[in-house]
């Protein structure tokens, strides 16, 4: 079936679905395949549950006209998303980066939503499946579209840009994330910069931090840029006022007091403000949106109880974000009252041992007197701090020895799920 015809069916449907547990009436089910599943086996079930059509690439029942046979279901989903994107009138803003992608996306959404009908990536649907699903969630009423892009290998951002065809783009930062897949920090810079390569090749606008030397170097010969920050040649001057307990920063129009903790969130906030300014959102609306934004999903949450203040930043972790969180925690809490509970950082490959040891040594350098190290990699560190091979071991220790410290930092990769500790700490 031609993509044009499939798009006509899509326009008459309630949307697309890739999970039979989430079938909506009159949707189109795409029978995706993976290492441990084959959606083709559930196509008929999807139809029985209310799907209008099922797109398959294996052995269809030719007597069922609601089964649409294609060469490759994933490729058809991506082609449909790109075809649909070309019909949209809304500009598409794409973003990637090592840290802060999802928080930045939500901040940009909050700002732009004060003036425009804005749609954005849901959760972290930011890969080769999530980006098409995001684009297909936009419709003729969408006035601004925000697409988050994640990657852990070379050429992935390039592929996602070819699907989404963004009009604007940005990279939050370059950090030590997915080192195993990218092949070291230089590989991270090269892989994430595929965003810039696409935008420059297609003469699209780039938003960037005027104080980031890597980004400045990448964009030095490109004219279609819009910079924020306090360094020279900036379009939208911003500067951080303070970061304890929450980030406060200045723009050219006002002082904004956020509800985000951690100096590392300043760039995310300033970037959202700059994009709002670029798209002519009123200064008071920018300030109101950023000041009312509340972090969630275990990202930079400051939780206050009767006798504790907990910085919960356990959605994910890599060496760059871990270092930033620890430095902020050390600088803004009193000695003798603080405990850092740290979980393993994943996807570091051969760098794992060195990077986990470096984080341990950083805790010592910053004189954090109480640190719990949790996970296979942290438990191998040379350390004076208590080490726990698993979450269960850590949990059992805390149950037997209740935490007395007032200030706590909880930071680890998603697979560690350290937010489970909250019930034992608050």
Q: pLDDT tens for residues 255-276? A: 999 999 888 899 999 999 999 9
Structure tokens at 325: 């969180």
| Of 13, 9, 73, residue with least CA distance to 43 | 73
Task: Collapse the DSSP code of 137 into the 3-class scheme (helix H, G, I; strand E, B; otherwise coil) and give the result.
Answer: coil
Between 153 and 164, residue with greater pLDDT: 164
Q: What's the confidence (pLDDT) of residue 180? A: 73
Average pLDDT over every residue of 166-194: 85
Assigned superfamily of 3-73: MurE/MurF, N-terminal domain (3.40.1390.10)
pLDDT over threshold 80, residue 54: yes
pLDDT grade for 116, boundaries at 50, 70 and 90: very high
Sequence-ordered list of residues with C-beta below 8 angstroms from that of 392, at least 6 positions apart, any chain? none
| Mean pLDDT, residues 367-380 taken together | 96
Q: What are phi and psi of 207, to 5 degrees?
A: -100, 140
* Top-level class of domain 88-292: alpha beta
Q: Is the pLDDT of residue 390 over 90?
A: yes
Question: 1-15, 28-42, 65-79, 299-313: which range is least confident on average?
Answer: 299-313
Question: Are residues 153 and 70 in contact, defined by beta-carbon separation less than 8 angstroms?
Answer: no
| Average per-residue pLDDT for the chain | 93
Would you state the pLDDT for residue 182?
Answer: 76
- Using pLDDT thresholds of 50, 70 and 90, give the confidence band for residue 130: very high
Distance CA 58, CA 44 (A): 12
Note the pLDDT tens digit of each residue in 205-215: 999 999 999 99
Nearest CA to 96 among 181, 186, 188, 180?
188
pLDDT band at residue 299, thresholds of 50, 70 and 90? confident
In three-state secondary structure terms, 234 is coil
**pLDDT value of position 186:** 87
| pLDDT, position 99 | 85
Residues 346-357 as b or e (16 or more Cβ within 10 Å = b): bbbeebbeebbb
Model confidence band, residue 426 (pLDDT cutoffs 50, 70, 90): confident
Please indicate whether residue 315 or residue 131 has the higher confidence score (pLDDT). 131
Q: With pLDDT > 70 as the criterion, what percentage of the chain qualifies?
A: 100
Instruction: Using pLDDT thresholds of 50, 70 and 90, give the confidence band for residue 59.
Output: confident
Instruction: Give the Cα separation of 74 and 86 in Å (integer).
Output: 19
Query: In which residue ranges of the chain is CATH 3.40.1390.10 found?
Result: 3-73
Instruction: State the pLDDT confidence band at 183, using cuts at 50, 70 and 90.
Output: confident
Q: How far apart are CA 16 and CA 10, in angstroms?
A: 8
In the predicted structure, residue 62 carries a pLDDT above the cut 80: no
Q: Per-residue pLDDT tens for 316-365?
A: 898 999 999 999 999 989 888 999 999 999 989 999 999 999 999 999 99
Put simply, whether the predicted model's pTM sits higher than 0.85 gets the answer yes
3-state secondary structure 63-76: CCCCEEECCCHHHH
**The 239-242 sheet, strands edge to edge:** 239-242, 248-250, 255-257
* CB hemisphere CA count around 223 (13 angstroms): 1
Is there a contact between 84 and 164 (Cβ–Cβ < 8 Å)? no
* Radius of gyration (C-alpha) of the chain in whole angstroms: 23
Rounded Cα–Cα distance for residues 310 and 303 (Å):
5
| Dist CA 72 CA 53 (whole Å) | 16
The secondary element (H helix, E strand) that includes residue 302 is strand 301-304
Average pLDDT over residues 93-112: 94
407 DSSP assignment: E
179 pLDDT higher than 80:
no
Q: Domain 301-425: which CATH class?
A: alpha beta
Give 227's strand partners: 208
- How far CA 156 is from CA of 10, 191, 192, in Å, comes to 26, 8, 9
């Amino acid at each position: 079936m031609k993509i044009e015809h499939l798009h006509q069916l899509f326009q008459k449907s309630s949307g697309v679905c890739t999970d039979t547990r989430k079938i909506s009436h009159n949707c189109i089910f795409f029978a995706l395949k993976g290492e441990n599943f084959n959606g083709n086996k559930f196509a008929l079930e999807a139809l029985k549950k209310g799907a209008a059509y099922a797109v398959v690439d294996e052995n269809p029942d030719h007597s069922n006209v609601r089964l649409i046979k294609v060469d490759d279901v994933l490729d058809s989903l991506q082609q449909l998303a790109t075809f649909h994107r070309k019909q949209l009138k809304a500009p598409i803003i794409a973003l990637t980066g090592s840290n802060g992608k999802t928080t930045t996306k939500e901040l940009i959404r909050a700002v732009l939503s004060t003036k425009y009908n804005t749609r954005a990536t849901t959760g972290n649907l930011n890969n080769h499946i999530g980006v098409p699903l995001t684009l297909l969630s936009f419709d003729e009423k969408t006035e601004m579209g925000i697409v988050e892009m994640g990657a852990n290998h070379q050429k992935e951002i390039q592929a996602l840009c070819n699907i989404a065809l963004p009009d604007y783009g940005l990279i939050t930062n370059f950090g030590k994330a997915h080192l195993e897949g990218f092949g070291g920090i230089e590989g991270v810079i090269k892989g994430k910069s595929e965003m810039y390569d696409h935008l420059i090749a297609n003469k699209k606008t780039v938003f960037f931090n005027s104080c980031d030397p890597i980004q400045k170097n990448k964009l030095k010969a490109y004219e279609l840029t819009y910079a924020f920050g306090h360094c020279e040649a900036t379009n939208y001057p911003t500067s951080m006022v303070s970061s304890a307990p929450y980030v406060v920063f200045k723009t050219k129009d006002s002082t904004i007091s956020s509800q985000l903790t951690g100096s590392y969130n300043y760039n995310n906030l300033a970037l959202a403000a700059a994009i709002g300014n670029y798209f002519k959102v009123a200064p008071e609306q920018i300030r109101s949106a950023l000041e009312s934004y509340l972090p969630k999903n275990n990202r930079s949450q400051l939780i206050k109880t009767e006798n504790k203040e907990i910085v919960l930043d356990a959605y994910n972790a890599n060496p760059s974000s871990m270092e930033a969180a620890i430095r902020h925690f050390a600088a803004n809490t009193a000695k003798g009252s603080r405990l850092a509970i740290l979980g393993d950082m994943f996807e570091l490959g051969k760098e794992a041992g060195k990077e986990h040891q470096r984080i341990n040594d950083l805790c010592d350098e910053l004189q954090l007197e109480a640190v719990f190290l949790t996970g296979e990699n942290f438990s191998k560190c040379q350390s004076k701090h208590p080490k726990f091979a698993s979450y269960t071991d850590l949990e059992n220790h805390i149950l037997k020895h209740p935490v007395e410290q007032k200030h706590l930092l909880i930071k680890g990769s998603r697979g560690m799920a350290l937010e489970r500790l909250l019930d034992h700490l608050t």
